[in-house]
Structure 1
Amino acid sequence: MTQLGKFEKYLIEEFFDDYRAGAMTLVGCTPEEVPRSTDPMPAPTSSSPAPGTSPAGSVPGAKSPLSVPEGASGLTTATVRFPARGTDISGYLARPGNGAVGPAVLICHENRGLTPHIQDVARRYAKAGYAALALDLLSREDGTAGMDPDAVPGALTQAGAQRHVSDFAAAFDYLNAQDFVDEGRIAMNGFCFGGGITWQAATAIPGLKATWAFYGPSPDLDKVPAIMAAVFGVYAELDQRITRAMPALRDALAKTAVPYELKVYPGVDHAFHNDIGERYNQEQATAAWNDTLAWFAKYV
């Protein structure tokens, strides 16, 4: 039987969490590569809008006052393609429309793939002056938009964290070569699954200036000394599945010379930043966003 690593175990737990929240069917919750439990699963107790099926509006389902619609003045957006490990992959690029040279940020989506919400996050960064590139980590599988939403988490798991980190290394090189990016001034931000990939990228992409991981599983602690970026970890007080591992990561980071902060936001649960979900909390999501911009302004 295949031995599951820490990140794979996290993803399985996230499948079950999504199912209980009503964001995934039982079929999607048990993809072929995930061991099936013989215990009965409880029925969903709530529902969250699936990508692309939220109420009508310029940004599907968006509740955040920070939301930036597609076509907003002063921004340029496009789908871009670039090489990675012998093939081309794609991402959604949003940047200031004035063409000014400035910093950049890589964005890693949640386990639902490249959704309208993540594209919205990229535009929020562009409005703040960054060239923001949100990868579609299922580019090789013809992209998130072309897949059954329930198949996306399993496909991301099957592809493996190493492939995802390698794709972000290629994205780093792509951004660094663009004439609108101030060379070397590149950060990374990820959410949930993407928070975990962000932590792993921090150990593997030495050129990153700063990272910001929203409630993502920590990297293997023996890899923490390889981190070169200024790292910030967002934790939700009610999300003990992730937050309980924070002290060990904090102790490992304390033995390094890198700037770091691990902050627990009060009264909120996992995915509190995602404003198309039922756990969204405007006060704490806005606070975390402002903290993000302040961290990047200081270290990128």
Structure 2
Amino acid sequence: MTQLGTFEKYLIEEFFDDYKAGELSHRTFTRRVAFITGSMAAAAAAMTLVGCTPGELPRSTDPMPTPTPTPSAASASGTSATGAIPGAKSPLSVPEGAPGLTTATVRFPSGGTEITGYLARPDDGGAGSAVLICHENRGLTPHIQDVARRFANAGYAALALDLLSREGGTASMDPDAVPGALTQAGARRHVSDFAAAFDYLNGQDFVDSGRVAMNGYCFGGGITWQASTEITGLKATAAFYGPAPDLAKVSSIKPAVFGVYAELDARITGAMPALRDALDATDVQHQMKVYPGVDHAFHNDTGERYREDQATAAWNDMLAWFGQHV
């Protein structure tokens, strides 16, 4: 089996944790790993590495799963007839159509093609700060669109990219195939798309040029860390429980970085001290904060691990960080 990259390993370990916790069926876990690795033999090898027993492994002769396209992209907005977000539990949630906000799907060039994103901003017409948002391994979901509206409600122009624009967009894809498509595209492509989005925002009359931050969750937290080392124009970033960047690149970070970690998330939080030490050895402005009593993905209020108190605290801490540095 080809050696797993940082994000492939990260996602397979995450899905294994979800499977063992009963949050994913064995079929869904196997499908996702197969889409990430590209073959059933490679999937079996990867599943062995994360701790699956022989009885849990697929046979190398098993057929690869066939992606099942989403029947309709009409659900891309992710809202009900009342504008509510399905499953949203956060008091910070902002429904589509909320007064005072403007939302739209926007398109801009990146790498010779067109990328789409969901833009939410205050409709007062003034120029202000902006934030780029990187979604989780599920792609651009209604929850991430909600996060963009939360930023807009706080006064930011918020742009959440669909990193699967080239593949036809998240809403058109088999959800189990989304993580594999994201890892196959590679972090370099994703960071390049965010660099293009940074330029797009800076060209808008509703953005005070140069005052742009970035925020991401899980997989998106990892891409946010990568972008912190490469997109030097960013003023600040906030990565929620994402895999750390190459520590050798930490000294190249220019934005002020804020890392959000969960106390019970041993897999990610356990690696945080090494990143913190690397940052301490530089002049990069940074803060690493561990939130007590919560696990990975505690901010996502459509998931089982959501905790309102700590999610709200992390959100407010991020806004304070952006307010100070953006």
TM-score, normalization by structure 2? 0.85
Distance in 1 between the 2:280 and 2:29 partners?
41
Matched residue, 2:208 = 182
Is 1:112 the counterpart of 2:138? The answer is yes
Is 1:96 the counterpart of 2:119? The answer is no
* Local SS of the residue matching 2:2: coil
* Local SS of the residue matching 2:43: coil
* Local SS of the residue matching 1:76: strand
Structure 1 position 2, deviation (Å):
2.5
Unaligned runs of 5+ in 1: 43-50
Summarize deviations over 1:258-285 as a string: whole Å, max 9, x none: 1100000000000000000010000000
Matched residue, 1:150 = 176
* Local SS of the residue matching 1:207: coil
Structure 1 position 32, deviation (Å):
3.8
Match for 1:223: what amino acid? Answer: K
Tell me if structure 1 keeps the 8 A contact 2:79–2:96. Answer: no
* Local SS of the residue matching 1:61: coil
Tell me if structure 2 keeps the 8 A contact 1:19–1:29. Answer: no
Structure 1 position 14, deviation (Å):
2.2
Matched residue, 1:10 = 10
1:55-204 equivalence runs, <5 A = 58-204=84-230
Structure 1 position 211, deviation (Å):
0.3
Match for 2:222: what amino acid? Answer: G
Summarize deviations over 1:136-192 as a string: whole Å, max 9, x none: 000000100011111111111111111111110110010011110000000000000
Is 1:22 the counterpart of 2:23? The answer is yes
Tell me if structure 2 keeps the 8 A contact 1:28–1:150. Answer: yes
Unaligned runs of 5+ in 2: 58-74
Distance in 2 between the 1:22 and 1:233 partners?
26
Tell me if structure 1 keeps the 8 A contact 2:251–2:284. Answer: no
Match for 1:89: what amino acid? Answer: I
- Runs ≥4 residues deviating over 4 A: 51-57
**Fraction of identical pairs, as percent:** 74
Distance in 2 between the 1:213 and 1:32 partners?
26
Structure 1 position 129, deviation (Å):
0.4
Match for 1:290: what amino acid? Answer: N
RMSD value, Cα:
1.9
Moved more, 275-284 or 10-19: 10-19
Distance in 1 between the 2:314 and 2:254 partners?
22
Tell me if structure 2 keeps the 8 A contact 1:191–1:214. Answer: yes
Match for 1:238: what amino acid? Answer: L
Structure 1 position 66, deviation (Å):
0.3
Match for 2:139: what amino acid? Answer: G
Change (3 A) 1:263 1:71: same
Tell me if structure 1 keeps the 8 A contact 2:15–2:29. Answer: no
Tell me if structure 1 keeps the 8 A contact 2:15–2:24. Answer: no
Distance in 2 between the 1:276 and 1:243 partners?
22
1:205 pairs with 219, 226, 231, which one? 231
Match for 1:9: what amino acid? Answer: K
Tell me if structure 1 keeps the 8 A contact 2:115–2:162. Answer: yes
TM-score, normalization by structure 1? 0.93
Structure 1 position 56, deviation (Å):
8.3
Tell me if structure 2 keeps the 8 A contact 1:54–1:61. Answer: no
Q: How many residues align?
A: 292
Moved more, 16-25 or 138-147: 16-25
Moved more, 28-37 or 236-245: 28-37
1:31 pairs with 25, 31, 34, which one? 34
Distance in 2 between the 1:33 and 1:107 partners?
23
Match for 1:156: what amino acid? Answer: L
Question: Between Structure 1 and Structure 2, whose CA radius of gyration is higher?
Answer: 2
Distance in 1 between the 2:261 and 2:249 partners?
20
Summarize deviations over 1:2-51 as a string: whole Å, max 9, x none: 33233331122123234445357134322344231353449xxxxxxxx9
* Local SS of the residue matching 1:30: helix
Distance in 1 between the 2:103 and 2:286 partners?
32
Match for 1:272: what amino acid? Answer: F
